[in-house]
A and B are shown apart, each in its own frame.
Chain A
Amino acid sequence: MSTMDFFTAMEVSASGLSAERTRMNVAASNLANAQTTQAAGGGPYKRRDVIMQSVDVPGVQGTPFAQAVKGVAVSQISQDTAQPRLEYDPGHPQANAQGYVAYPNVNPVEEMVDMITASRAYEAGITTMTTAVNMAERALGIGR
């Protein structure tokens, strides 16, 4: 379809929106579990991080720009390998023999910054999308 050119821009920014939404979800998960001492698999919750990867978008395959125009996708959500934060609290049920409780390696300030970045990137994606839609609409209005 000849309007596919604007649809490509829409596909690309849509992939960005989805990736940023995932980043937002991960930041929410990290913040919610900032005090979780008992995670699946034992030990405290481990901070999650998103790994983003550029992917092909439909509509540009077979064109000279197939290798240039790329969408984005979250390839995996990895665990932060930083050591858990130890707090002295001998009365805590999860305290070890020395009286220390292992808390998640989550820094709420860092998560807030991540969240703001995701939010701003989402806004940028929306702006790209709106601009592409506006351009398509302007093109449809030629000669009217």
Chain B
Amino acid sequence: MSIAPITPPISPELAGITGVTRIERPQAAPDLAGTFRAALEDAHGAEHRATTAAEQFAKGDTGMGIHEVVIASEKANIAIRYATTLKNKALEAYRELMNTQV
């Protein structure tokens, strides 16, 4: 048997709707995976810089003061929490989709 395709107008009410344009998806749309990867890399870099700063301070490097070390670790803290927040949000969205009743 052949399935008849749905041809517009589907209903008389919809026939009057004009001027609706299709919105194209942007070509380089930032996807969640890419954003998450970038956030993870930033967090990794910040964490590495914080560790290096702490090591340099412990070694008595004259260019490394107390506030530089504290600021580096605070930046790492924020970057890691940012990455964690993205991870949590992505997982939350995934679970939401998985729990969809069909």
A: residues with CB less than 8 A from B are 1-3, 6-7, 10, 14, 17-18, 21, 129, 133, 136-137, 140, 143
Contacts and interface: CB of A to CB of B under 8 A. Distances in A.
For chain A, what secondary structure do more than half of its interface residues adopt (helix, strand, loop), or is it mixed?
Answer: helix
Contacts of A140: 78, 81-82, 85
Nearest to A21: B65
B71 A6 contact: no
A14 B82 contact: no
Interface of B: 38-39, 42, 65, 67-68, 71, 74-75, 78-79, 81-82, 85, 89
Given A1-B38, A1-B39, A1-B42, A18 B67 contact: yes
Contacts of B82: 1-3, 140
Contacts of A1: 38-39, 42, 79, 82
Contact of A137 (B42, B65, B68, B78): B78
B92 to A, nearest CB: 10
28 contacts: A1-B39, A1-B42, A2-B82, A3-B42, A3-B82, A6-B78, A7-B75, A7-B78, A10-B74, A14-B67, A14-B68, A14-B71, A17-B67, A17-B71, A18-B67, A18-B68, A21-B65, A21-B67, A129-B71, A129-B74, A133-B74, A133-B78, A136-B78, A137-B78, A137-B81, A140-B78, A140-B81, A140-B82
